[in-house]
Structure 1
C-alpha cells in the first residue's frame, strides 16, 4: 500500500503541470516579452539600442503591441469565464485586477521619486529634479502627493499602468456588451474612441495643464479589438487569410517604414489640410490616432497569416522569452524601476553611449533572471498544491500507511 500510494502521488504531480501548460499559447507570451523589452529600452532614452526599437521603423511602438496583446489575453482569461452563474465573480476579479495595477503604479511612481531625488542629492545634480515631471510635485508636496495618489499627476515614463488599470475598470461593461453582441461592443468602443479623439476628451491632470499621456477612452478601442478577435476565435471562428487585406496590410507597413525612416512627417501637414480630425490624420499617441492604430493592426494581421512568423513565435514553455512574458506585470514593474535608475545614471554620466548601452543590456539580463526566479517560485507552488490535492484524494487508510 505504501508503494502504491507513493506512485499515485508522484504520477498525479507529474501529469498535472504539463497539462495546464499545454493549453497556453506561448506566442502571446513571446510577443508580450518582446513588447516589454522594447518598452524598457525606450524608457532609457539617449542610448544607441533605442535606435533599434520598433518606433524607429513604423507608426506604432511597444505600447500599442502591449495593449493589443493584453486585450487578447484578457479575452482568454476573463471572456471565456463570463458565463451565467460566473458573471459577477468574473467582473469582480477584473475590478480587483485594476486595484492591483494601481498598487503597482504607486510602487513605480514613488520609487522613481526616490531615485531622482537621491540622485540629485548624492551626485549634486539638481537638474535631475527637473526631469520626468518631478518638479511640479516638489514645488507643492502636499498637493503633489495627493495628485499622484489620485492619478491627477503622472511621473514621466510611469503612465502605462494608470491607463491599463482604467481599462480593467471598464472591462465588466465590455464583458456584458460582448456577451450580448461582439459587433455592438466594437461599435460602442469605436464610437468612444472617435468622439474622444475629435473633442479631446480625456482624464485631466491637476498639477500641470493637460491630459493623461495615454487616454484610456482612446486606447480602450485597441484593447477591445484584441478582446473581440480572440473571443471570435474561441467560439470557432477564424481570422482568415484574405489576399487583398494581406496586401493592404503589407503595403501599409512598408509605407509606414518609409515614412518614419525617411522622416516624411511634412506629409502629415498635407493630410491635416484635408480638414479631417487630427485623430484620423495625425500621429498623436495620447488619443491613439488612426495611423498608429492601423499600423499595429496591420502588423498583427501579417503575423497571424505568415506561417513562418507564427512558428518562430511559438516557443516552448521553458523558453526564456516565454517565461519573461508569462510574468508580465512583475517584469514591467521591475523594468520600469530599472529604467528610471538608468535615466539617473545616464544623466550623471552626460548620456555616455557606452554606459547607456551597457546598462540596458545588464537591465535586460536582470529582468530575465528575475523572470526565472518568479517561474521557479510558480512551479514550486504549483507542485506543492498538486501534491496536497493528490494526497487529499487518497483514501484515509492509504494516507496513514503512507505516513508510516
Structure 2
C-alpha cells in the first residue's frame, strides 16, 4: 500500500521579511502522523514478505481495514501539510505544479522499483537451483516472455501487476488534488460531494463492468487492484481533517464506546474469526455457518479493490481510538520519566518517527527488501528463530534507509564550515 510528500512548500519569491519569519517559526510536524506512518511501514514490510508468519498478527487479520488504510489516510494528512499550503500561498497554478512535480517523482520511483524487483527475480531464476520459479511468484510471465507490449504498458501505467499497484494508485489520487482545491474555493461541501460521487462510481457492486476503474494489463479485462477512484475517499478524508474542513472529533466516552464496539464486532468476521469458525469451533448449524455466510454477503462492503464502505467505517473507528490514546498532538507517545524503559521507548519513538518522515524512500526499499527476505527464508527455512531474525534484518534496513534519506535531504555538502 500507498505515500505523501512532506517537502518544503513552494512560495512566490518571498520577501526578506517573510524569509526571516519563516526561519523564526519552522513548521512543526505532528508526532501522531509520523508515528503511525512509521508503524505502517514496518507492517507493510512484514505483509509483503512471502511465508512470513508474523502476518498473522497484522491489523488486517483482526478487522476489515489494514495498514494500507493507515498509510493512505496518513498520506492524505501529510499532503495537506505539504501541498495545501502551496495552493494557499502560491495560488492554484503553482500549487498544481507542486503536485505535478511530486507525481513525476513517484512515477520514476514506480518504474525504478519494478525494474529492480524484476531484475532481482530474474537473477534468482537465472542462477537456478532454488527449487522455485520467482518470476512466476509475481506473475511476470508476460513481461519476460514478450516484453514489447508489457514495457509499453509499464511506462503508460496500463500494465500494473498487483504487487506494484500502490504507487500508481497514489499518483492518480494526487492528480485529483487540484480538482479538490478548486472545488473547495467555491464551497467545501462540493469537495465531499465530489469524493462521494467518485467513490460511488468506483463500486463494482453498483455498476458492474461500467464502474470507474483503470486497466491493469492490455491482454485482459483485469483492472488495478487498488482502484484510485475508491481509495481517494480515505486519502481526502485525512486531507480534509488536516486542512480543518472536517472538525476534529471530541474525546467523549460515548464515542470511545461506539468505536470500540465497531472494532470488536469486526473480529468474528475478520480473517482470524472466520478461520476459527471454519474449524467448527462455534456458530455451526445444521444448515451451515451463518458467520461465514455473512462474510460472503458483506463482500461488496469489505472489498479491498474498490475500498468497501465497511473498511472505511472500521478504519475510522480504529483511527479514533488511536487518536484518543495518542493524546493531543501525540503527547501520550512521549517518554515519561528517566528510567531505563522510558529511555528505551524514547529511542524507539525517535526511530519510528524517522521512518514515518521518509515515506517514499522507505516504502520503495521495503517492497524490494520483502522479496529478498522471502528468498532468504526459502533458503534457510522458516523456523520461529530464522523468521524473527530475517524480519529484524529487514526492519534494520528500513531504519538505515530512513536515516540515509534524511541525511541526503539535509544536503550536508551545502553547509558552511
Normalised TM-score (structure 2)? 0.79
1:345 corresponds, among 352, 370, 376, to 376
Q: Which structure has the greater CA radius of gyration?
A: 1
Query: Residue 182 in 1 paired to residue 188 in 2?
Result: yes
Residue 60 of structure 1 corresponds to which residue in structure 2?
65
Displacement of 1:305 after TM fit?
2.8
What CA distance in whole angstroms lies between the structure 1 residues aligned with 2:238 and 2:180? 12
Displacement of 1:291 after TM fit?
1.4
C-alpha contact (below 8 Å) 2:50/2:371 kept by paired residues: no
Measured against aligned partners, the alpha-carbon deviations of 1:97-155 in whole angstroms (never above 9, x if no partner) come to: 11111111111111111111110111334522211121122232111222222222223
Question: Is there any run of 5+ residues in structure 2 with no aligned partner, and where?
Answer: 1-20, 279-289, 336-345
2:319 corresponds, among 300, 303, 307, to 300
Residue 377 of structure 1 corresponds to which residue in structure 2?
408
What CA distance in whole angstroms lies between the structure 1 residues aligned with 2:136 and 2:388? 24
Residue 241 of structure 1 corresponds to which residue in structure 2?
251
RMSD of aligned alpha carbons: 2.9
Measured against aligned partners, the alpha-carbon deviations of 1:242-280 in whole angstroms (never above 9, x if no partner) come to: 44433221111111234323216963634765xx9x54x
Query: Residue 20 in 1 paired to residue 26 in 2?
Result: yes
Displacement of 1:241 after TM fit?
3.0
C-alpha contact (below 8 Å) 1:253/1:298 kept by paired residues: yes
| Larger RCO: 1 or 2 (CA < 8 Å, sep 6+) | 1
Mapping of residues 82-97 of structure 1, within 5 Å: 82-83=87-88, 85-97=90-102
Residue 358 of structure 2 corresponds to which residue in structure 1?
327
C-alpha contact (below 8 Å) 2:37/2:356 kept by paired residues: yes
Aligned length: 364
Residue 132 of structure 1 corresponds to which residue in structure 2?
138
Residue 204 of structure 1 corresponds to which residue in structure 2?
215
What CA distance in whole angstroms lies between the structure 1 residues aligned with 2:322 and 2:57? 20
Mapping of residues 358-377 of structure 1, within 5 Å: 358-377=389-408
C-alpha change, 1:367 and 1:123, in structure 2 (3 Å) is same
Mapping of residues 15-54 of structure 1, within 5 Å: 20=26, 23-54=28-59
C-alpha change, 1:353 and 1:151, in structure 2 (3 Å) is farther
Normalised TM-score (structure 1)? 0.81
With 31-40 and 194-203 compared, the bigger mean Cα shift is at 194-203
Displacement of 1:178 after TM fit?
2.4
C-alpha change, 1:115 and 1:352, in structure 2 (3 Å) is farther
Question: Is there any run of 5+ residues in structure 1 with no aligned partner, and where?
Answer: 1-14, 389-404
What CA distance in whole angstroms lies between the structure 1 residues aligned with 2:409 and 2:38? 18
Mapping of residues 257-268 of structure 1, within 5 Å: 257-260=267-270, 261-263=272-274, 267=291
Displacement of 1:16 after TM fit?
8.8
C-alpha contact (below 8 Å) 1:193/1:217 kept by paired residues: yes
Residue 244 of structure 2 corresponds to which residue in structure 1?
232
- Partner-residue secondary structure (3-state), 2:29: coil
What CA distance in whole angstroms lies between the structure 1 residues aligned with 2:82 and 2:66? 25
C-alpha contact (below 8 Å) 2:216/2:224 kept by paired residues: yes
- Partner-residue secondary structure (3-state), 2:307: coil
C-alpha contact (below 8 Å) 1:108/1:333 kept by paired residues: yes
C-alpha contact (below 8 Å) 1:34/1:321 kept by paired residues: yes
Residue 9 of structure 1 corresponds to which residue in structure 2?
none
